[in-house]
Amino acid sequence: MSCLFCEIVAGRIPARIAYQDDAMLAFHDINPQGPIHILVIPKRHITSVLDLTPADDELMGSLVRRATALSRAEGLADRGFRLVFNYGEDAGYSVYHIHLHLVGGRKLGWPPG
């Protein structure tokens, strides 16, 4: 089964990469919801937050810390930003490869739409 973000990891679909290492990749969202919108994903396919196991705890911790490092690099740490995992129809989850959204650079409404 083909997965869009696995294709990006493999380099078969282009993306504007913000960071990568052996375990993860961060790239700019193609349809940004703010001046800064970066997706941070594990390179290994995990379908969603519902599929996480204790064996993924370290990976997911490093994903969150990478997102906060990127928030600093993008100048968001002083003003604020949002980290989001969507899941399912109600949240509009559209790419079934787990991804952490880093969104910022504008005033973000709460509750989210």
Tokens encoding 56:
């993924």
Q: Which one of ligand AMP, Zn ion, none interacts with residue 74, CB within 5 to 8 A by kind?
A: none
Q: Does 94 bind ligand AMP (CB under 6 A)?
A: yes
Distances (CA, A) of 87 to 15, 54, 102: 22, 19, 16
Q: How many CB atoms lie within 10 A of CB 51?
A: 11
Q: Does 48 bind ligand AMP (CB under 6 A)?
A: no
Q: Does 70 bind ligand AMP (CB under 6 A)?
A: no
Stretch that binds ligand AMP, among 27-35, 41-49, 50-58, 105-113 (CB under 6 A): 27-35
Single out the residue of 3, 29, 34, 83 in contact with ligand AMP (rule: CB under 6 A). 29
* Alpha helices in the chain, H assignment, sequence order: 4-10, 57-73
101 is catalytic: no
